């Protein structure tokens, strides 16, 4: 099987109707915080037991196409000695892997961050693939202020995402490309729209420059939302209209699937907005100011799959990405 054949086989499984992706790739600090909230110590063994419980859920493959794993999980085994990645495979679910190494300040772009982890990525991907991983995830973050992200921040982060995606595809791994425009701050919905438009434009230009095969990638964007500190809330219809408009303007039709992150929204708000995104064709709504209140970071983020044909124009499939 050629590398292209591998990529096409993986993306075909990811975009199965009625299925989504579960992000179970919590970092050590995040899962420690979540375990502490329910009185559980975060140890290698408790984390293994938790992931095993998720992966062995009866009927999980009916709704889940893939799990994004933390690096520790990829090397762990079930009680019977079966690697956890193999447990997923036997369930009919694809194992994926978070591969970025977190953010650091971007020099000469005050207030912007850049994600690390490109050094040695090809070698790491080879090892992850040998352990069963078939897709990967990399996240770039964009804080929003009157001046951020800067033009340098937008271009530098797009370049890193494209390099990551190209390296993944060269190793037969489908990349999830995640440019997250943060909800933190008091910016307006109009400002979020402006930033999201610029970010996605830069990302797809960079993907094109690096020869990334768009048919074999997953886009994981945030919705167009006002900042947490800018009331009142925007309605799901306004969020959906603005989000779809940005996607139509920037996402080529070749991209087979768009899996949203909630980006700090509560499960109820994320679900309402996703339902609005997945509804029938809607009139374009004029952008209006507002805010969606956010859940605490440790609160589980719930999403739900929505049907094909959710958007118009270039948006071919809008679906959900669930976080445990």
Which residues are the active-site residues? Answer: 178, 220
Q: How many residues does the chain have?
A: 324
Q: 67 by DSSP, 3-state: which?
A: strand
Question: How big is the CA angle at 177 (ends 191 and 188), to the nearest 5 degrees?
Answer: 10
Distance separating alpha carbons of residues 139 and 220, to the nearest angstrom: 9
Question: Which is it for strands 113-115 and 103-105: parallel, antiparallel or unpaired?
Answer: antiparallel
Is the separation of the CB atoms in 84 and 77 below 8 Å?
A: yes
Concatenate the DSSP letters of all residues of 92-141 into one string: T-EEEEE----EEEPTTSTT-EEE---TTHHHHHHHHHHTT--EEEEEEE
Say if strands 94-98 and 64-69 run parallel, antiparallel, or are unpaired: parallel
């Amino acid at each position: 099987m050629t590398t292209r054949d591998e990529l096409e086989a993986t993306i075909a499984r990811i975009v199965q109707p009625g299925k989504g992706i579960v992000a179970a790739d919590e970092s050590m600090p995040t899962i420690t915080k979540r375990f502490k909230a329910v009185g559980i110590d975060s140890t290698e063994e408790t984390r293994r037991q938790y992931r095993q419980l998720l992966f062995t859920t009866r009927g999980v493959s009916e709704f889940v196409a893939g799990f994004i794993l933390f690096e520790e999980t990829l090397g762990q085994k079930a009680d019977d000695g079966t690697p956890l990645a193999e447990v997923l495979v036997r369930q009919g679910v694809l194992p994926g892997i978070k591969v970025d190494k977190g953010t650091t300040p971007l020099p000469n772009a005050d207030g912007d961050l850049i994600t690390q982890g490109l050094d040695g990525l090809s070698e790491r991907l080879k090892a992850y693939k040998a352990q069963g991983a078939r897709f990967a995830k990399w996240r770039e973050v964009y804080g929003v202020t009157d001046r951020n992200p800067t033009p340098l921040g937008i271009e530098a982060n797009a370049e890193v995402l494209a390099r990551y995606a190209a390296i993944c595809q060269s190793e037969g791994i489908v990349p999830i490309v995640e440019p997250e425009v943060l909800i933190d701050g008091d910016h307006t919905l109009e400002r979020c729209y402006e930033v999201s438009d610029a970010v996605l434009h830069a990302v797809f230009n960079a993907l094109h420059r690096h020869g990334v095969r768009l048919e074999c990638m997953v886009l994981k964007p945030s919705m167009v939302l006002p900042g947490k500190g800018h009331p009142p809330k925007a309605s799901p219809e306004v969020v959906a209209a603005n989000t779809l408009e940005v996607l139509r303007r920037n996402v080529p039709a070749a991209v087979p699937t768009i899996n949203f992150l909630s980006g700090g929204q509560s499960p109820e708000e994320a679900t309402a907005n996703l339902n609005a995104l997945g509804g029938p064709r809607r009139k374009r709504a004029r952008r209006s100011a507002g805010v969606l209140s956010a859940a605490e970071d440790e609160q589980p983020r719930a999403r739900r799959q929505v049907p094909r044909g959710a958007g118009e124009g270039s948006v071919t499939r809008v679906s959900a990405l669930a976080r445990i």
